[in-house]
């Protein structure tokens, strides 16, 4: 009766298609059958599984006892369970790199978490939380591995930390460039381009319009090969660069 129930639950994926409880039951009965004197080949035929699987279960039981017969929870593979496919992510990155959000028909001057959320909702009908957006920005290497860079000691008040990153598209497009700024409250503002930026003038201008006032940019982990904001810390309304 047990054998028939287990075999009836086997799908095209074999034993792995069973739910955890049924898989554990199958393993226990297969091992018990071998322990009672049936050959592994006979047991495999009885339960409709491979001889290799039966051998694996028996060896695991002999070395570790009954706990080894309980299925382990499988972790997600890289990229598994994501709301957006690789192709959809590539489409988003392509739009980001094509220009600022106003060029993409969105009512803002710089890309932000909210702007990316609205873009994804418009393109694919999917609404993502800000924390999920951060995971995608990290996945695309638009922000650093430790997430949103934090304000450093010595930063002048009312400043934005700005860095130059090199995002990559999940579809293989590399060599992109991004100017990314973060406020003291952790708000992100960025532009992405296929070619290196000539400087920060347009980025700063858009920040000023976004905030409705002048801004101070502090270079953070800035690539040595790229033009950095001028070091003019004595003038409070000019861009400054902190020492490394």
Mapped onto helix, strand or coil, the DSSP state of residue 60 is: helix
Which range, 1-10, 51-60, 79-88, 212-221, has the best average confidence (pLDDT)? 51-60
Ranges of each domain in the chain: 2-69, 86-241
Angle, helices 51-64/40-47, rounded to nearest 10 degrees: 110
Owner of token pair 């932000």: 112
Q: Please report the pLDDT score of residue 47 as a whole number.
A: 85
Owner of token pair 């909210």: 114
Instruction: Measure the CA–CA gap between 238 and 215, rounded to whole angstroms.
Output: 8
Query: For 20-43, what is each residue's pLDDT tens digit?
Result: 778 888 888 989 999 999 999 998
Q: Please report the pLDDT score of residue 217 as a whole number.
A: 83
Mean local confidence (pLDDT), 179-202:
89
Q: Which runs of E-coded beta strand occur in 114-166?
A: 159-165
Instruction: Measure the CA–CA gap between 178 and 193, rounded to whole angstroms.
Output: 6
Owner of token pair 């039966």: 54
Mean pLDDT, the chain, whole residue set: 79
Q: Please report the pLDDT score of residue 156 as a whole number.
A: 58
Element of type H or E holding 142: none
Q: Please report the pLDDT score of residue 183 as a whole number.
A: 84
Q: Please report the pLDDT score of residue 178 as a whole number.
A: 93
Query: For 120-131, what is each residue's pLDDT tens digit?
Result: 999 999 888 888
Relative to beta strand 216-219, strand 240-241 is parallel
Owner of token pair 């039981």: 61
Do the Cβ atoms of 69 and 24 come closer than 8 Å? yes
Q: Please report the pLDDT score of residue 112 as a whole number.
A: 95
Mean local confidence (pLDDT), 117-140:
91
Closest CA to 188 of 123, 244, 111: 111
Query: For 195-216, what is each residue's pLDDT tens digit?
Result: 998 888 899 899 989 888 888 8
Instruction: Report the residue count for the chain.
Output: 244
Instruction: Measure the CA–CA gap between 33 and 65, rounded to whole angstroms.
Output: 15
Structure confidence at residue 184 as a pLDDT band (50, 70, 90) = confident
Residue 236: is its pLDDT beyond 80?
A: no
Angle, helices 40-47/20-35, rounded to nearest 10 degrees: 140
Do the Cβ atoms of 155 and 161 come closer than 8 Å? yes
Q: How many helices (H) and strands (E) does the chain have?
A: 8, 5
Selected residue with higher pLDDT from 206 and 63: 206
Instruction: Measure the CA–CA gap between 151 and 73, rounded to whole angstroms.
Output: 39
Structure confidence at residue 136 as a pLDDT band (50, 70, 90) = very high
């Amino acid at each position: 009766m047990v054998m028939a129930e287990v075999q009836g639950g086997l799908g095209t994926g074999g034993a792995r298609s069973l739910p955890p409880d049924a898989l554990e039951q199958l393993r226990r009965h297969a091992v018990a059958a071998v322990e009672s004197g049936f050959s592994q080949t006979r047991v495999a035929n009885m339960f409709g599984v491979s001889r290799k699987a039966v051998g694996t279960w028996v060896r695991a039981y002999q070395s570790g006892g009954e706990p080894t017969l309980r299925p382990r929870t499988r972790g997600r593979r890289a990229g598994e369970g994501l709301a957006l496919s690789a192709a959809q992510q590539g489409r988003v990155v392509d739009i980001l790199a094509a220009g600022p959000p106003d060029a993409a028909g969105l009512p803002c001057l710089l890309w932000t978490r909210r702007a990316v959320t609205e873009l994804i909702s418009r393109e694919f009908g999917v609404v993502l939380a800000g924390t999920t957006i951060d995971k995608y920005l990290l996945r695309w290497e638009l922000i650093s591995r430790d997430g949103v860079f934090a304000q450093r000691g010595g930063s002048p008040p009312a400043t934005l930390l700005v860095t130059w990153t090199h995002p990559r598209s999940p579809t293989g497009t590399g060599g992109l460039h991004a100017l990314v700024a973060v406020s003291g409250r952790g708000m992100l503002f960025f532009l992405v381009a296929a070619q290196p930026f000539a400087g920060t003038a347009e980025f700063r201008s858009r920040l000023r319009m976004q905030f409705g006032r002048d801004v101070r940019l502090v270079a953070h982990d800035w690539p040595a090969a790229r033009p950095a904001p001028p070091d003019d810390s004595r003038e409070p309304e000019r861009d400054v660069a902190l020492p490394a």
